[in-house]
C-alpha cells in the first residue's frame, strides 16, 4: 500500500481516537450546564417567603422585557420574573405550585407567549393531529425537551417535582438520545457557563438583579405591517386550550384572586407576525371568558414611548432600553389598576431592594456604553445576564 495512504489512515485513526477521548468529558460538561435560566429561577427561591407583591410568569419575552428592580424603583412594589426559555402553557401548573409554596402574590401576571405553542390548525385544511406524541419534537411544542430540562434542573425536590416527572415521563422517554448526547438539549445556550455565578448567588443569599438578561440587536430592522382592520382571532392547538383553561381554574382554586395575562410589546413585520396577533386574540377570548384580565401592550407602544428601531433586539424581544420603558409603564399600570400596596419590608430587605435600584441604573449605563465602545463583531454574540463578573463591573459604574 502507498505510504501516503497509510499515513492518511493512521491520521484518521488518531483523529477518531482524540474525538472519542474528548467525547465523555464534553458530555460531563454539557450535562452539568448552568444557564441564565437556572440562575434566575434559583434567585426566586432565595427571596424571603411571602415578600413579593407580584410574580411575572412567562418565557423569553419576560426576562428580556421585565426588570423587577425597575418596578421597585417606580412603585416600591416587589416582584420577580419566574421565566425561562420556551416556557409552554403545559408547564405552568407546576410553576404555579412552586410559586405559591413560597409566595402569596397580590397579583399574578402571565406573559401569554407560551399559550401560542403547539400544533396550530389551519383554517380550511384537514384538522391537525394534536395529541401529546405530536407535541414533543420541535422548539415551540408543548413538551419540548429544553423547557422541561430547565425546570427539572431548577426545582428543588418535592412532590410537585416528582409529579411533574411522572406526568412528563412519556416526553422524556421519547428523547432518550439526550441521555447519551446531553449537549443536544442545550442547543442555543452554549454562551452560558454560569455554575460559579449560581454558587456565588447562593452564598450571597439573594439575586441583586432579579434575573435580568439582554443582548444587542444584530437583526435587520424590517418595516412593520399594518394590521388589517377588524383582525379576527385565529386558531390554537386544542391541547393549549385545555391546558390554559385548567391553569386558570387551578390558580383560582389555589387562591390567586388577581390574574392578568399580558402580551409584551412585539413588532409585526410579516404574515407570520399577523398570524401570531390572531393567535393571541384567541387567547384573549379564552382568558376573558374565564374571568381574567388581558392586555396586549404591542398596541400601546406609542403611549409607552417604545421605538421600533431603537428599543428591540428582534421582533419578539425588547432590549434593555425598551425593557426600562416598558417595565416603568407596566409597573404603574398594574399598581393603579389593581390598587396594589407595597409589602412592608424589613430594614435588610429594603437595603437590598434599594441596592438593586443602583444596580439596574448601572446596568443601563453599561449596556449602552458597551455598544459605543466596541465594534459590531464584538457585540454580535454579547449577552448581559446576571453574573458575578457583571455585578463587579456594575459596582465600578456606581462610582462614576
Place of cell 453599561: 366
Q: Does domain 34-399 bear CATH number 3.40.50.1110? A: yes
- Which sign does the torsion angle of CA 52, 53, 59, 65 carry? negative
Q: What is the pLDDT along the chain (400 residues), one digit of tens a residue?
A: 566 666 666 666 666 655 544 444 444 334 446 899 999 999 999 999 999 999 999 999 999 999 999 999 999 999 999 999 999 999 999 999 999 999 999 999 999 999 999 887 766 554 545 566 667 777 778 999 889 999 999 999 999 999 999 999 988 754 444 444 444 444 444 445 578 888 899 999 999 999 999 998 766 667 888 787 788 999 999 999 999 999 999 999 999 999 999 999 999 999 899 999 999 999 999 999 999 999 999 999 999 999 999 999 999 999 999 999 999 999 999 999 999 999 999 999 999 999 999 999 999 999 999 999 988 778 877 899 999 999 999 999 998 7
* CA distances for 189 relative to 32, 185, 337, angstroms: 13, 9, 37
Q: What is the pLDDT of residue 32?
A: 46
d(CA 325, CA 319): 10
1 burial level (CB within 10 Å; 0-12, 13-18, 19+): exposed
Chain mean position to CA 94: 16
For the chain, how far is it from start to end, CA to CA, in angstroms?
A: 71
Task: List the chain domain ranges.
Answer: 34-399
Provide the pLDDT for residue 49: 96
Q: What is the pLDDT of residue 33?
A: 67
> CB neighbours of 198 closer than 8 A, spacing ≥ 6?
34, 38, 39, 42
Rounded CA gap, 206 and 45, in Å? 9
**Phi/psi of residue 58, each to 5°?**
155, -165
Q: Strand pairing of 293-296 and 259-263? A: parallel
For residues 251 and 96, is the Cβ–Cβ distance under 8 A?
yes
Query: Can you tell me the distance from the alpha carbon of 323 to that of 83, in angstroms, rounded to the nearest whole number?
Result: 15
pLDDT recorded at residue 399: 87
pLDDT at 133 (0 to 100): 65
Residues 6+ apart with CB under 8 A from 365: 397, 400
- Yes or no: say if 94 and 160 are a contact pair by the CB < 8 Å rule: yes
274 in the Ramachandran plot: left (φ > 0), alpha (ψ -120 to 50) or beta? alpha
Helix/strand/coil for 111: strand
Query: DSSP states of 344-383 as a string?
Result: PPPHHHHHHHHHHHHHHHHHHHHHHHHHHHS-HHHHTT-B
The alpha helices in the chain, defined as continuous H runs, are 3-31, 36-46, 60-65, 68-75, 92-102, 145-154, 159-167, 169-174, 177-180, 195-204, 238-253, 271-289, 301-304, 320-337, 347-373, 376-379, 388-398
Contacts 24+ apart (CB under 8 A), 150-159: 150/35, 150/37, 150/38, 150/41, 150/84, 150/85, 151/41, 151/84, 151/91, 151/94, 151/95, 153/38, 154/37, 154/38, 154/41, 154/42, 154/84, 155/41, 155/94, 155/98, 156/45, 158/98, 158/101
Contact 147, 88 (CB under 8 A): yes
Amino acid at each position: 500500500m502507498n505510504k501516503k495512504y497509510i499515513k492518511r489512515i493512521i491520521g484518521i485513526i488518531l483523529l477518531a481516537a482524540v474525538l472519542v477521548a474528548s467525547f465523555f468529558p464534553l458530555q460531563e460538561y454539557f450535562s452539568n450546564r448552568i444557564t441564565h435560566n437556572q440562575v434566575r429561577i434559583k434567585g426566586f427561591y432565595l427571596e424571603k417567603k411571602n415578600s413579593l407583591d407580584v410574580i411575572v410568569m412567562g418565557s423569553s419575552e419576560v426576562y428580556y422585557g421585565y426588570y423587577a428592580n425597575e418596578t421597585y424603583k417606580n412603585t416600591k412594589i416587589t416582584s420577580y420574573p419566574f421565566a425561562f426559555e420556551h416556557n409552554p402553557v403545559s408547564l405552568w401548573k407546576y410553576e404555579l405550585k412552586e410559586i405559591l409554596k413560597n409566595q402569596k402574590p397580590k397579583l399574578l401576571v402571565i406573559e401569554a407567549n407560551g399559550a401560542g405553542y403547539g400544533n396550530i390548525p389551519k383554517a380550511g385544511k384537514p384538522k391537525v393531529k394534536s395529541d401529546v406524541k405530536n407535541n414533543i419534537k420541535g422548539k415551540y411544542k408543548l413538551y419540548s425537551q429544553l423547557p422541561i430540562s430547565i425546570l427539572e434542573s431548577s426545582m428543588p425536590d418535592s412532590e410537585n417535582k416528582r409529579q411533574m416527572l411522572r406526568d412528563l415521563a412519556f416526553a422524556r422517554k421519547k428523547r432518550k438520545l439526550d441521555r447519551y448526547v446531553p449537549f443536544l438539549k442545550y442547543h442555543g445556550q452554549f454562551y452560558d457557563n454560569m455554575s460559579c455565578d449560581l454558587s456565588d448567588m447562593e452564598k450571597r443569599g439573594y439575586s441583586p438583579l432579579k434575573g435580568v438578561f439582554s443582548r444587542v440587536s444584530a437583526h435587520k430592522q424590517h418595516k412593520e405591517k399594518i394590521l388589517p382592520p377588524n383582525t379576527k382571532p385565529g386558531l390554537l392547538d386544542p391541547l393549549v386550550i385545555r391546558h390554559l383553561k385548567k391553569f386558570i381554574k387551578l390558580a383560582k382554586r389555589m387562591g390567586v384572586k388577581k390574574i392578568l395575562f399580558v402580551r409584551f410589546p412585539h413588532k409585526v413585520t410579516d404574515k407570520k407576525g399577523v398570524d401570531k396577533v390572531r393567535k393571541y386574540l384567541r387567547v384573549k377570548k379564552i382568558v376573558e371568558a374565564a374571568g381574567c384580565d388581558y392586555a396586549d401592550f404591542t398596541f400601546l407602544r406609542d403611549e409607552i414611548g417604545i421605538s421600533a428601531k431603537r428599543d428591540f433586539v428582534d421582533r419578539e424581544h425588547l432590549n434593555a432600553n425598551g425593557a426600562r420603558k416598558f417595565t416603568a409603564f407596566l409597573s404603574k399600570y398594574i399598581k393603579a389598576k389593581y390598587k396594589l400596596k407595597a409589602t412592608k419590608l424589613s430594614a435588610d430587605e429594603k437595603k437590598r431592594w434599594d441596592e438593586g435600584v443602583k444596580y439596574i441604573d448601572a446596568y443601563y449605563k453599561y449596556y449602552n456604553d458597551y455598544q459605543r465602545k466596541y465594534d459590531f463583531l464584538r457585540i454580535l454574540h454579547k449577552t448581559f445576564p446576571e453574573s458575578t463578573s457583571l455585578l463587579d463591573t456594575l459596582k465600578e459604574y456606581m462610582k462614576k
